Structure 1
């Protein structure tokens, strides 16, 4: 089964409840939007897609070492200004 139109990828809460297996099956192919009161509420994606989007891509050290600012002559001295007076 292939989701080919926007309507194929959008479900009301009631239809998603009634056809959860189909929503899950289609989410393997493309994200499925569940609407509430006519507005997008949540998106169902495959576990593989979720992992791809949220998975860690290296460590912080690797990120910093790959930075285009590495080796730049930046002045990183902390300023010692007085704290701001914030009234709530």
Structure 2
């Protein structure tokens, strides 16, 4: 893993380069010489925070329309008619 440090000005001029660098490791973005932001891949963020993808996030991914999954049925005791009173 490589760590990259760039200025906010460099980031504004070459976002593509920063994104490529983030594939190899964290990119520290400095403001007036001090680190202010860190750019990393979503996978690395999830690994660090222990978060897993949820269904809503999966459905917004490109190609999600091709995902097939089964929705399990709930036991009958959970279903009840709607009360509109």
Q: Quote the residue 2:28 is aligned against.
A: 33
Measure, in 2, the Cα distance between the counterparts of 1:47 and 1:28.
10
Count of aligned pairs between the two proteins: 52
User: What RMSD in Å do the two structures reach over aligned CA positions?
Assistant: 2.0
List 4+ stretches of structure 1 deviating above 2 A: none
Are 2:8 and 1:13 equivalent residues in the alignment?
A: yes
1:41 Cα offset (Å): 0.5
Point out where structure 1 has 5 or more consecutive residues left out of the alignment. 58-88
Radius of gyration: which is bigger? 1
Scaled by the length of structure 1, the TM-score of the pair is 0.53
Point out where structure 2 has 5 or more consecutive residues left out of the alignment. 53-85
1:56 Cα offset (Å): 3.9
Scaled by the length of structure 2, the TM-score of the pair is 0.55
Q: The residue matched to 1:30 in structure 2 has which SS?
A: coil
